[in-house]
Structures are given as structure tokens and as C-alpha cells.
């Protein structure tokens, strides 16, 4: 009886400890972390042979390992730290993502966004817009951007003024941008209808004076679309099949210029809207 009472007291202490907020380090496996989140997450040994685990994996096994790493990195609420052992090769998942280049671009973007948007030149705007698009940050800025609303509006308005001025002067393409690059910034904070400061923007003159590249050269130097290579000439509103999500309709095709990958936005009949990653080695979509 005394032993049972002792076990009950231990159970009560464990229950109380779990319910009491406290600072600690929790060691867990990726599988056990599913559904949980922490302010800071540290993932050690992000090397080939550990993530992914093993050698000579099939495509299905490799994709399962990729999903596990995705689970791990999305457990972080504020900070994510990835550690590697230098004598061992970097995880192929991080190599494919060009992690060093991606982190550098992210840091440059962060620093630019900390500056006063009223001081931005057209080149600054073009780089911000292209970096946000290539990193796939559009949805982040629309839904989870935590800066003050007035700061969001100031940045979004500056970008729209620059791009609209470039549109009016028919030099938007010389900035390396298209009309759809306006959409996420309009969603954040549309320009007031009475705004008349769209005739010009600081720094646009340097783009006006650039020589127009010949169509032949532009087409010859443009990299082939992964979606075109793997799926044919995929366009908006075309129907596709996904092995997990089923039938859907293509809503957008985004080229990730940093890592030569593409994101296909698909509205699935039973799974809603999903963003599907296409790489040179992996494609889960089938054109119908």
C-alpha cells in the first residue's frame, strides 16, 4: 500500500511539473515533435547520412526524410539553429536549397527592410521585390509580418510607387520584374486612390538609360522552366494530379531564382490551395 501511495505522489509531481511553466531544454526525436512548437529549436548533425539517414535511399524514402526535416524546422516559433559537422558532407537537402546563399539573401533583405523606405532607390526596390519572390516570402509578408502597420504601409506604398512609375514608363521589365510582382504589396496596403506621386521614382533614370536586350539574346539566355521540362508547357487554369492531394487546378507558377526551383500553386478539389515544390530531381505533379 505504501508503495502504491509513493507511485501516486510521483505521478502527481510529474503532472504538476508538466503544467508548471519553466525554462528547460527538451531533447526529442523529430517524430515525437510533430504537432509541438518551441520558441527556439536546435537541429544538430544536419549532414548527409543523418538527414537524410542512411545511403542508397529510394525516391520514396528520400522524400520521407525530406518531410521529416520539414517537420523539424517548422517546430521553431522564433529561432531555428541548424548545426553541421565540418568533416562530414552537408545534407543534400540543404545543398539543394543553397542554404548559405539563401541565408545571405535573407540577411540582406532584413537589413534593407530596416532602413527608411523614403531613402530607397529603384534598384533597392527591385532587389527587395525579387528577393521576396525568389525566397517565397510573399505569404509571410501578407500574413505574419510583425512590424508596425504604419511601417508595413510605408514599405508597401514605396514599392508600389516605384513599380507603377516603371509601368507608366514601360521599363518594368528592365528592373527584372513583372506586373504580378505588385500583387502581394497591394494586398498588404494598397496605395490611396488620390496618390499622384507616380510619374517618376528616384533611380529609375538609370534603368531608362540601359540598352534594351535583344529578344533573341534574352530568349537564348533565359533558363528553361523546370515546370516546362517536367510537365510540358504548364499554364494557369490547367488541371493536374497530385499523388497525395488528388485533382487540382494550377493558379500560379513561381520561379525561385536563388535555388533554380519552382513553386506551383494549385487549388485542389478536396485539399484546398497548396504550394508544390518542383526541383530538378523531384516532381509530385502530373499534367492531365
Q: What is the CATH number of the domain that holds 259?
A: 2.40.10
Q: Which of 31-40, 75-84, 161-170, 206-215 has the lowest mean pLDDT?
A: 206-215
Q: Is the pLDDT of residue 219 over 50?
A: no
Q: Which of 56-65, 129-138, 152-161, 269-278 has the lowest mean pLDDT?
A: 269-278
Question: Quick one: average pLDDT of 270-274?
Answer: 79
Q: Is the pLDDT of residue 73 over 60?
A: yes
pTM of the model: 0.61
The total of structural domains in the chain comes to 3
pLDDT tens for each residue of 188-209: 998 886 554 557 888 988 887 7
Closest CA to 276 of 214, 233, 227: 227
Q: Residue 139: which pLDDT band, with cuts at 50, 70 and 90?
A: confident
Q: Is the pLDDT of residue 21 over 80?
A: no
Could you tell me the residue range of the domain that residue 207 belongs to?
Answer: 101-217
* Complete DSSP assignment for 112-168: HHHS-GGG--HHHHHHHHHHHHHHT-HHHHHHT--S-HHHHHHHHHHHHHHHHHHHH
- With a pLDDT cut of 90, the percent of the chain lying above it is 30
Residue 142 in contact with residue 181, Cβ under 8 Å?
no
What was the pLDDT predicted at 260?
53
Residue 53 in contact with residue 12, Cβ under 8 Å?
no
pLDDT tens for each residue of 84-111: 998 889 999 998 888 888 889 999 999 9
What was the pLDDT predicted at 273?
78
Domain boundary among 194, 217, 240: 217
Strand, coil or helix: 215: helix
Q: Which CATH number do you get for residue 54?
A: 3.30.160.800
The radius of gyration computed from the CA coordinates of the chain, to the nearest angstrom, equals 24
**Distance, C-alpha 89 to centroid of its chain:** 24
Looking at the fold, whether 56 and 88 belong to one and the same domain comes out as yes
What was the pLDDT predicted at 268?
83
- Position 13 in a domain: no
Question: Quick one: average pLDDT of 252-265?
Answer: 65
Average pLDDT, the chain: 81
What was the pLDDT predicted at 223?
40
Q: Is the pLDDT of residue 48 over 70?
A: yes
Looking at the fold, whether 254 and 180 belong to one and the same domain comes out as no
What was the pLDDT predicted at 217?
30
Q: Is the pLDDT of residue 224 over 50?
A: no
What was the pLDDT predicted at 2?
79
What was the pLDDT predicted at 285?
79
Q: Is the pLDDT of residue 282 over 80?
A: no
- Position 283 in a domain: yes
Whether the link from the prior residue into 68 is cis, omega within 30° of 0, is: no
Pairwise CA distance, residues 261 & 225, whole Å: 9
Closest CA to 259 of 67, 103, 88, 31: 103
Strand, coil or helix: 69: helix
Domain boundary among 160, 189, 217: 217
Q: Is the pLDDT of residue 259 over 80?
A: no
- With a pLDDT cut of 70, the percent of the chain lying above it is 82
Looking at the fold, whether 193 and 111 belong to one and the same domain comes out as yes
Amino acid at each position: 500500500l505504501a508503495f502504491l501511495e509513493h507511485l501516486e505522489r510521483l505521478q502527481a509531481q510529474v503532472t504538476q511539473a508538466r503544467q508548471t511553466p519553466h525554462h528547460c531544454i527538451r531533447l526529442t526525436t523529430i517524430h515525437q515533435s510533430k504537432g509541438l512548437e518551441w520558441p527556439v529549436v536546435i537541429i544538430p548533425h544536419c549532414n548527409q547520412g543523418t538527414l537524410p539517414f542512411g545511403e542508397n535511399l529510394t525516391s520514396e524514402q528520400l522524400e520521407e526524410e525530406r518531410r521529416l526535416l520539414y517537420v523539424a524546422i517548422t517546430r521553431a516559433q522564433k529561432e531555428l539553429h541548424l548545426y553541421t559537422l565540418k568533416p562530414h558532407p552537408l545534407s543534400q537537402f540543404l545543398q539543394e536549397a543553397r542554404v548559405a546563399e539563401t541565408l545571405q539573401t535573407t540577411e540582406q533583405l532584413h537589413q534593407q527592410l530596416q532602413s527608411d523606405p523614403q531613402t530607397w532607390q529603384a534598384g533597392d526596390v527591385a532587389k527587395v521585390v525579387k528577393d521576396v519572390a525568389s525566397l517565397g516570402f510573399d505569404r509571410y509578408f501578407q500574413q505574419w509580418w510583425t512590424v508596425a502597420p504604419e511601417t508595413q504601409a510605408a514599405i508597401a506604398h514605396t514599392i508600389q510607387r516605384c513599380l507603377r512609375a516603371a509601368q507608366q514608363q514601360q521599363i518594368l521589365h528592365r528592373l527584372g520584374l513583372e506586373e504580378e510582382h505588385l500583387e502581394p504589396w497591394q494586398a498588404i496596403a494598397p496605395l490611396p486612390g488620390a496618390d499622384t506621386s507616380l510619374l517618376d521614382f528616384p533611380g529609375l533614370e538609370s534603368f531608362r538609360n540601359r540598352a534594351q536586350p535583344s529578344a533573341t539574346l534574352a530568349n537564348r539566355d533565359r533558363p528553361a522552366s523546370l515546370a516546362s521540362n517536367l510537365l510540358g508547357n504548364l499554364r494557369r487554369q490547367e488541371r493536374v494530379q497530385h499523388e497525395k492531394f488528388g485533382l487540382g487546378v494550377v493558379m500560379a507558377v513561381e520561379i525561385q531564382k536563388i535555388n533554380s526551383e519552382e513553386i506551383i500553386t494549385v487549388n485542389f478539389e478536396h485539399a484546398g490551395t497548396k504550394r508544390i515544390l518542383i526541383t530538378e530531381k523531384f516532381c509530385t505533379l502530373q499534367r492531365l
